[in-house]
């Protein structure tokens, strides 16, 4: 006879017990717990469907329309990918690889060039991003700050805020007035995209970000209460939360005034554990209490608002030994992802956001001082939008959590001894409703260990690779049949067409055992692969050696609906693509990516990508007899697996040929250094007080660039003085971000360059640097002009809520040795914000102020030159060229620009593609050499203009030397791309 769930539960010998969230060891009967929602099917794929929905939570999970859902989320930032067409590409890749939620920062500085001005057009179109997420079928967690940190300039605060009164991140009324304007602008968009009203898919909204200061002070509590009241008054009605900076219990429910509203606030926390240490227990199995992670709020689901999917790298690359993000990805690889994410799952985390899932690019002057241009982060999707091996466990776990509802509601169960000595740690959990069991087996040593797990009266032997983990399930439903246990890891279950489908995964070559409860002996057909089967005592045992895709069809035995078991090795599993639609799910096997799947009558219309030639196989809703792939009909045949299989392979990507970069033109700039330069239109630096946290020296004018309205990029100073007789040296005190520098000229002659040191392990987090540059001088006859260029390297973040973003930037004071002339200063920085590219694109170089970076600039009178170059001199030289691409229309090519040179050469390059400031290359610091050129900014089927602004200190020959286009990846498929500067693009124009 069939084993009932109750019988199964008894055989395990683990009386249905769970431990209190506090982890104290107090035992309670799990079945007596009051459940607000039973385990059942997850909610439908979210869409902007125009219908009202309920969004809430209990202590286990989020509840959408009364049904449990685990939010398996990935972080991406639209402002780090300035091509809205590619937002859809990344979002579709996230959904395809198992994520059901995208978490999104909204950067105030990206949208606001001046107080009261908020621009949500063009590349800043938040509404477009939210619509695209809804069309993709992803929930959204919106995080608009006002402070976001995120390794962006000033932590997301706009540059103009650095020159205003009021203490940020407190209840200061001046600051709050600006915050209210910002939130009004964001929320006017957000309310239209809430899932509760059916206009979009926002289900969570964050207040502030890692606010770990002023927690016990009235100003901090009043600040959080103000944000809560403001957001609710603006019409945001989804649950709100804050992300604790660590596990401190800060801002848990009940710690500040929410205006009497209860049950609508979640506690979330962040965690970035080292890959060199065992994964921490931040929940059921941890120390408990207010500092135990999710145990700080036992009435709300475990919520990791940020969990490290990598880490950022500083200038010089000391974080990863100069190897850059490739090393981050190596140290936080797929095994790391499995070991740490499965530990989180075992600890009750049911809202899980990976930071970053796609890092992107901190282009222009967006990066905070502590990072360079690339924000690849070692993420599972790299900066060029390409999937990496790290996506394998995310793909498997994401689809598992979306299709096996038992995992949305788990309690801690009795500990089990699995052997393995000190290598293995076992977590045992049980669903109090269905009595399904989950085991997480973790190996914290380098060598493989074997776990011996007692399940259902049997002994299951499971190899666990070194520094890796496995998940086993027992008692879960596979549709009409029940899984007694499997030594393979479940990945998904679907009811497709007229059969149930279940997928299990593991390493290639691994021997696995899967046991199904069967009242009577079923019919078993091994359709493909190495599998043996036997039936005894109400159970069907399948022994399968994994390799490719093993297929076993189970029919009859008292169950009307067939079960197709697909057992895939890890590499094969990421070619299995479930896709849920209103008419039922699809399962597609073969291509590199499935983007969309729709049923049109008897036709399945699919879109997706291939890299190499690929098979295509489709399990579709009933009645589908034809398949169209990327608009072309694909001949198919029906298989014994119940699928439609293409009779010929899908073609791979066409070749991509990149031109050599030739035809360069050169022009030197910095006329500002010349004595006769006309600076009459520049701002007079005559202020006597500043809101900067950097003190203004007594008797000196304010020289900080922000006080004169210049917030981004380079800034020029020209000081006039007369009585300098006897002067022997001049000292220039200045403040910048990491890797800032100063260049000086006296009466048109170079004095020299000073630069901040490269960060080491002790200063890697230092965002504000100050120094004094002293140069010998021998001034001739008066009057004199002292010209100074400062590369500021942006504002510090305000992670300590101490106004550190207001630290001065630029000159602080000038002093002379042997004389005391009075200096009259003028200052010039960036011109007005670029209406297309925004305020963060341009700095204050002469060429930027006069459009030398723009595609249409007439450079016909510039000197024709060839690369490589070897010039010596202090200052700025520009190089421009044009090139044309002809990438096949059906090919998505990811292209970068690579610069190489002798690392002893001291110079840096600002890279402009079609007017877009794509980042900064520092030749003698690194570690970045390749800069991603996103399609849309890059015209892959037309002309492009590349401009390089080379800033050299004159101590060595400067390049550029090697400058070439690099093919980073290619795929057949992709998404339609609209050039961001085309006439049809919203906000285009200069």
Q: Between vectors from CA 468 to CA 462 and to CA 470, what angle results, nearest 5°?
A: 40
**Which residues are registered as beta bridge partners of 417?**
none
Structure tokens that stand for 176 in this block: 């709050």
- What does the DSSP 8-state code read for residue 295? G
Which pLDDT value is given to residue 112?
98
Strands 424-430 and 411-412: antiparallel
Which pLDDT value is given to residue 7?
34
Environment class of 685 (CB within 10 Å of its CB; exposed 0-12, middle 13-18, buried 19+): buried
pTM: 0.95
Which pLDDT value is given to residue 982?
58
Helical residues (DSSP H) of 299-350, grouped into ranges: 325-331, 334-346
Cβ pair 247, 303 in contact under 8 A: no
As a whole number of Å, the end-to-end CA separation of the chain is: 77
Which pLDDT value is given to residue 9?
34
Residues of the chain with pLDDT under 70: 1-35, 982-990
Strands 202-206 and 240-244: parallel
Which pLDDT value is given to residue 472?
98
Which pLDDT value is given to residue 1?
30
Which pLDDT value is given to residue 578?
98
Cβ pair 417, 425 in contact under 8 A: no
Integer CA distances (angstroms), 629 to 587, 588, 605, 617, in order: 14, 11, 6, 11
Q: What is the pLDDT of residues 692-743, one digit of tens each?
A: 999 999 999 999 999 999 999 999 999 999 989 999 999 999 999 999 999 9
Coil, helix or strand for 735?
strand
Which pLDDT value is given to residue 14?
33
Sheet of strand 916-922: strand arrangement: 863-865, 664-668, 874-884, 943-953, 907-913, 916-922
Distance CA 59, CA 298 (A): 6
Distance CA 953, CA 759 (A): 19
Cβ pair 47, 137 in contact under 8 A: yes
Which pLDDT value is given to residue 795?
98
Q: What is the pLDDT of residues 32-43, one digit of tens each?
A: 233 479 999 999
Which pLDDT value is given to residue 194?
98
């Amino acid at each position: 006879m069939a084993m009932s769930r109750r019988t199964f539960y008894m055989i395990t010998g683990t009386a249905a017990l769970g431990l209190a969230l506090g982890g104290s060891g107090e035992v309670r009967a799990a079945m007596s717990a009051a459940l607000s929602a039973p385990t059942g099917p997850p909610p439908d794929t979210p869409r902007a469907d125009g219908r009202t929905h309920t969004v809430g939570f209990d202590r286990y999970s989020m509840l959408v329309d009364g049904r449990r859902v685990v939010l398996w989320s990935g972080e991406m930032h639209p402002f780090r990918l300035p091509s809205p067409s590619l937002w859809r590409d990344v979002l579709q890749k996230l959904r395809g690889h198992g994520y059901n939620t995208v978490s999104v920062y909204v950067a105030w500085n990206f949208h606001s060039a001046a107080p009261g001005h908020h621009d949500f057009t063009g590349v800043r179109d938040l509404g477009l991003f939210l619509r695209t997420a809804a069309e993709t079928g992803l929930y959204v967690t919106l995080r608009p700050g006002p402070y976001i940190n995120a390794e962006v300039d000033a932590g997301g605060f706009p540059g103009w805020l650095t020159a205003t009164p009021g203490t940020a991140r407190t209840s200061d009324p001046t600051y709050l007035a600006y915050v209210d304007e910002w939130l009004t602008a964001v929320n006017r968009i957000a309310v239209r995209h809430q899932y509760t009203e059916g206009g979009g898919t926002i289900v969570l909204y964050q207040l502030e970000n890692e606010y770990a200061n002023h927690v016990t002070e009235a100003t901090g509590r009043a600040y959080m209460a103000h944000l809560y009241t403001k957001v609710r008054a603006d019409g945001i009605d989804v649950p709100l939360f804050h992300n604790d900076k660590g596990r401190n219990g800060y801002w848990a429910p009940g710690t500040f005034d929410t205006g009497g509203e209860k049950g609508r606030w979640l506690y979330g926390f962040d965690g970035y554990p080292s890959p060199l240490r065992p994964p921490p227990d931040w929940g059921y199995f941890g120390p408990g209490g207010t500092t135990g992670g999710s145990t700080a709020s036992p009435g709300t689901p475990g919520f990791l608002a940020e969990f490290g999917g990598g880490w950022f790298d500083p200038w010089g690359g000391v974080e990863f030994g100069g190897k850059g993000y490739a090393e981050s990805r190596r140290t936080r690889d797929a095994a790391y992802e499995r070991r740490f994410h499965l530990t989180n799952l075992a600890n009750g985390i049911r809202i899980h956001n990976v930071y970053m899932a796609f890092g992107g690019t901190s282009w222009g002057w967006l990066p905070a001082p502590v990072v360079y241009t690339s924000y690849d982060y070692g993420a599972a999707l790299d900066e060029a939008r390409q999937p990496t091996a790290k996506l394998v466990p995310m793909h498997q776990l994401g689809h598992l959590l979306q299709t096996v509802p038992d995992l949305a509601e788990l309690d801690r169960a009795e500990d089990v001894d699995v052997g393995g000595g000190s290598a293995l740690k076992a977590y045992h959990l049980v669903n109090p409703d269905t009595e399904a069991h989950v085991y997480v087996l973790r190996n914290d040593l380098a060598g493989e260990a074997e776990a011996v797990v007692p399940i259902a009266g049997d002994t299951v032997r499971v190899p666990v690779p070194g520094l890796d983990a496995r998940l086993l399930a027992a008692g879960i439903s596979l549709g009409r049949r029940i899984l007694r246990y499997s030594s393979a890891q479940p990945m998904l279950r679907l009811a497709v067409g007229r059969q149930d489908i279940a997928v299990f995964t593991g390493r290639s070559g691994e021997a696995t055992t899967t046991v199904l409860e069967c009242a009577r002996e079923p019919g078993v057909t091994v359709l493909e692969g190495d599998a043996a089967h036997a039936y005894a005592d109400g159970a069907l045992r399948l022994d399968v050696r994994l390799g490719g895709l093993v297929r076993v069809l189970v029919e009859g035995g008292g169950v009307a609906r067939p079960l197709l078991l697909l057992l895939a090795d890890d590499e094969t599993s990421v070619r299995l693509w479930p896709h849920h639609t209103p008419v039922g799910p699809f399962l597609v096997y073969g291509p590199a990516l499935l983007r969309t799947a729709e049923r049109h009558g008897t036709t399945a219309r699919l879109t997706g990508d291939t890299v190499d030639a690929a098979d295509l196989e489709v399990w579709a809703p009933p009645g589908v007899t034809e398949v169209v792939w990327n608009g072309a009909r694909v001949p198919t045949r029906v298989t014994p697996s119940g699928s439609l299989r293409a009779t010929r392979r899908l073609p791979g990507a066409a070749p991509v040929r990149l031109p050599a970069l030739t035809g360069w033109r050169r022009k030197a700039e910095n006329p500002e250094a010349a004595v006769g330069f006309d600076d009459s239109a520049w701002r007079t630096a005559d202020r006597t007080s500043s809101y900067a946290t950097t003190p203004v020296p007594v008797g000196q004018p304010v020289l900080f660039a922000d006080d004169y309205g210049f917030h981004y990029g380079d800034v020029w100073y020209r000081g006039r003085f007369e009585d300098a007789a006897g002067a022997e040296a001049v000292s220039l005190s200045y403040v910048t971000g990491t890797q800032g520098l100063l260049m000086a000229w006296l009466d048109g002659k170079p004095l020299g360059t000073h630069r901040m040191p490269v960060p080491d392990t002790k200063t890697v987090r230092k965002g504000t640097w100050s120094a004094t540059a002293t140069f010998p001088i021998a001034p001739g006859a008066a009057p004199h002009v002292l010209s100074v260029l400062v590369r500021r390297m942006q504002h510090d973040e305000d992670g300590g809520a101490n106004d550190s973003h207001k630290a001065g930037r630029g000159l602080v004071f000038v002093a002379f040795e042997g004389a005391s002339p009075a200096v009259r200063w003028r200052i010039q920085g960036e011109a007005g914000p670029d209406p297309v590219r925004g305020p963060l694109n341009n700095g204050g170089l002469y060429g930027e102020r006069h459009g030398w970076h723009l595609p249409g600039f007439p450079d016909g009178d510039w000197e024709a030159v060839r690369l490589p170059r070897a010039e010596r001199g202090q200052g700025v030289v520009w190089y421009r060229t044009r090139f044309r691409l002809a990438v096949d229309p059906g090919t998505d090519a990811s292209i970068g620009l690579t610069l190489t040179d002798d690392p002893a050469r001291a110079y840096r390059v600002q890279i402009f593609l079609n007017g877009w400031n794509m980042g900064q290359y520092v030749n003698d610091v690194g570690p970045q050499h390749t800069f991603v050129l996103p399609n849309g900014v890059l015209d892959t089927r037309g002309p492009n203009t590349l401009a390089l602004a080379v800033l050299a200190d004159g101590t060595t020959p400067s390049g550029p030397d090697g400058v070439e286009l690099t093919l980073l990846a290619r795929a057949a498929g992709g998404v339609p791309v609209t050039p961001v500067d085309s006439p049809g693009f919203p906000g285009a124009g200069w």
